[in-house]
Structure 1
Amino acid sequence: MSQQVDGKRVAILATHGFEESELAVPKAKLDAPGIVVEVVAPEAKGIRAWAEDNWGETYAVDKSLDEANSTDYHALVLPGGLFNPDALRQDERALALVRHFVEAGKPVAAICHAPWILINAGVVTGRTLTSYPSVKQDLENAGASWVDEPVVVDHGLVTSRQPRDLDRFCHTLVGEILEGRHADQAS
């Protein structure tokens, strides 16, 4: 597997109020095989997690949105929570970064409420996705089909419902990065 991960780089885009497990677990699962993971945020200072029902740890930021470029990465991860995706979906720099990943055919993984960011980036029309149940109507209103599955892949968009789906979400994401499974769907 080491040859497969050589040079692979993933950006995790987040800001204050991300669901802690939805950043920490994917980061650890991607780090384990040797994929380089960088946390990208609107500003290059630490961002504070939301840990289920209260503020959690502060996480270091590797690059600001102004410094990040989609060409430097093989995939993008969007953690959920309530505050994080709501703030990022209003940040045009974040939306532009998401659009660049999607346009380049690179995997974009969004969990829980993070599909809100995909909606505002304008990349969900005609796609089949999942999310936290309260985001279902928003996805359907934006032209997506919503299904209640632990993880869904649609041409590189990897979506998942909630923290208890993290193992399947991360396993699927690693497969997308290493094997480019979604490329077979692009015909």
Structure 2
Amino acid sequence: MTTKRVGILAEFNYEDLELWYPYYRLREEGFETFTIGPEQGKTYNSKHGYPCKAEVGIDDVNHEDLAALIIPGGFAPDYWRRDKRFLDLVKNMYQSGKPTAAICHGAWMFCSAKILKGKKLTCFVAIKDDVENAGGIYEDSPVVVDGNLITSRLPKDLPDFCKAIIAQLKK
């Protein structure tokens, strides 16, 4: 059996725990996790100044090579949602039926990728209106799974978020 590869988006002002907790938790389960940034090898600092070097650049990632995609929150999603390359990756992952997961402000990517119509999800409460305006059905829960779309609200929801991602990867 080949190791399943899980990409985690990285960019300036990402939320520390929402990137690193899944990164290491999924590695503990035996998945190959790696960060995907706008530029391979470039270091992006989190909201709190913690550095993350992009192990792979967005131009070198193909959804066909990934088993799952994780989108952390913070303010980074506001940069990714302006970049067609990131939006295409998110949309292609979702449309291919692979686990596509976002926490906190990461759900902005689903809004901009236009994949939310009629889907149940959760997010940070401040972007609830964005999610609903994009056609999503907001639910205030630690984790919401609707098909291959997995969402959570806050860092305190990370245990449930990661359990849901792992459950789909082990199917």
TM-score clears 0.5: yes
Equivalent residue number for residue 133 of structure 2:
141
- Work out which of the residue numbers 9, 28, 40 in structure 1 matches 2:5: 9
Q: Deviation digits for residues 63-120 of structure 1, max 9, x if unmatched?
A: 1111111111100000001x20101111110000001101110000100011001100
Q: CA deviation at 1:14?
A: 2.1
Q: Does 1:47 align with 2:47?
A: no
What is the distance in 1 between the residues matched to 2:78 and 2:149?
A: 19
Equivalent residue number for residue 168 of structure 1:
160
What is the distance in 2 between the residues matched to 1:66 and 1:77?
A: 17
- For the aligned residue pairs, the C-alpha RMSD in angstroms reads 1.0
- For 2:105, what is the secondary structure of its paired residue? coil
What is the distance in 2 between the residues matched to 1:107 and 1:67?
A: 20
Q: What is the total number of aligned residue pairs between the two structures?
A: 170
Equivalent residue number for residue 63 of structure 2:
70
What is the distance in 1 between the residues matched to 2:150 and 2:28?
A: 20
Equivalent residue number for residue 17 of structure 2:
21
What is the distance in 1 between the residues matched to 2:107 and 2:34?
A: 20
Q: Does 1:94 align with 2:90?
A: no
Contact 1:14 1:88 in 2 (8 A): no
- Work out which of the residue numbers 74, 88, 110 in structure 1 matches 2:102: 110
Equivalent residue number for residue 125 of structure 1:
117
What is the distance in 2 between the residues matched to 1:133 and 1:57?
A: 25
What is the distance in 1 between the residues matched to 2:20 and 2:90?
A: 20
- For 1:114, what is the secondary structure of its paired residue? helix
Equivalent residue number for residue 183 of structure 1:
none
- For 2:50, what is the secondary structure of its paired residue? strand
Bigger Rg, which one: 1
Instruction: Give unpaired runs (5+ residues) of structure 2.
Output: none
Q: Deviation digits for residues 1-54 of structure 1, max 9, x if unmatched?
A: xx6xx4211000121110000000000110102100110011111111113xxx
Q: Deviation digits for residues 116-169 of structure 1, max 9, x if unmatched?
A: 011000111110000000111111111110000000001100000000001110
Q: Give the partner amino acid of 1:18.
A: Y
Instruction: Give unpaired runs (5+ residues) of structure 1.
Output: 180-187
What is the distance in 2 between the residues matched to 1:112 and 1:127?
A: 16
Structure 1 runs, 4 residues or longer, greater than 6 Å off? none
Q: Give the partner amino acid of 1:27.
A: Y
Q: Give the partner amino acid of 1:148.
A: D
